[in-house]
Structure 1
Amino acid sequence: MGIPDEKIHPVATGVAIKTVEKHQEPQELVFYSGWFCPFNQRTWISLEEKGIPYQYKEVNPYKKEKHFLDINPKGLVPAIEYRGKALYESIILCEFLEDAYPSHKPHLLPVDPFDRAHARIWIDHCTKTIVSATHRLLQSQDKESQDNAREELYAAQRKLAKEVKGPYFNGEEFGLVDICVAPWIARDYVVAEHRGYKREDASKEWKEYADRLSQRESVVKTMSEREHLNVIYDRYLRDEAQSEAAKATRAGREIP
């Protein structure tokens, strides 16, 4: 994320490090992770939700091992190695876990083809509108730009909240739409503290949904301590971060 190596904490902390410690034994699935990355957390939440055995390996973003770059030329987390083959991209990985481990529940996507397609529409909404608006709000440096980004974020969150069946997007079962947005909900304290954001200003329904997701066990156990996350987000707040998401936002492009 463009932070000098000596400043970024090298490993997960708090509750998350306890999760890491439980996943050190070799498994057929190796999870290459960056503890700080919200895209990465999507895959991590999915692994925890489905109870899939995995070996956790932390990737130092500034000292990437040759093996990691060999299996993932992009050099980005999350990535997995499964039976000697590699895959990457957070949503693709989440869907792969659903397909590769069908007996592990809960199902992250509905079984019904129409409901599954409908969920994918809202997964796309999360990334293209909620995530994008959050990054614009984080990185905007003047009041007008911040106000515009905040209103865009509220509108995008309000739109999703109207589709939530309750308590989760698809009803009783926590699923992939929830997973796609949860990491940014877990980090919205940053825009609350620095950009005037309030969950309740999106809507009452959004606040209830966001409160519920932020308390989900799989979300909590894959989150590190704020003091270490703040080192990263301070760079975003100054619009100095060099992650692919930050560079895309700065250039007015869609987040890859």
Structure 2
Amino acid sequence: MQDWSTHRWRKYGPLVYILISLVVLGGCATQRADVVERGQPPGREIQKHWVSAGETLYSIAWRYDVDHRKLAQHNGISPPFTIYPGQTLRLDVHNMAAPSRPSPRATPPKVASKPTPKAPADRQENKTSRPKASAAPALVAGNPDWRWPVKGRVIAAFGASTGLNQGIDISGKLGDSVQAAAAGQVVYAGSGLRGYGNLVIIKHNDTYLSAYAHNRRLKVAEGDAVKAGEVIAEMGSSGTDSVRLHFEIRRDGKPVDPIGYLPKR
């Protein structure tokens, strides 16, 4: 029996060894496959944003529901809020420390001024463009005199269904005129915000901004001053599955229900 067992092991042993090796290697491969890069755990706030080409400070503030003024201050960015692709912006504006005040007796030392380094020639800037020289910013004082941007009916209310709708959706036909809901300055015009399609953002003053999404064609550019009722886009279905206008109002960077601001029909 021992000789027969030895004979069988000599005959089948290498095959058994190969099978055992494959099982072990397969287990290791499976274990490695589980080690993948994961997104942030639910509930954890994103702390930083890396600027991409075409973004502006306003579009980034809109994306993260923060006040553009606080975002600029927190990152040491002054008007006209020039940013660069690859630049890192801190988003934790709620952690902003109160500005420190120097002691009245302290005398700051004199420091020799250094020449400001020039940006490399191939460095691309993202600018929230200044208004055209021929037109001053049409910013309004106090609360804007709001008007409906289109004439259709509301087909999705603020916070409807999933509670994630940060504005209202208004029906219409392809190519219908989209009008500015109040006078202001265009601070973003593009398609860089996921889910919004062709988007226009208008700054009405330091408190209020409005957005017009899913357009077929944009009629304005960043930096343009617009009047209330001026045509800024053509209605479309970019970024969605049907023709509609998604309209939002932000107050100090936070979404508010537009129905509470628009006149009753």
TM-score by length of 1: 0.29
Which structure is higher in helix share? 1
TM-score by length of 2: 0.29
More strand by share: 2
Higher relative contact order (CA 8 A, sep 6+): 1
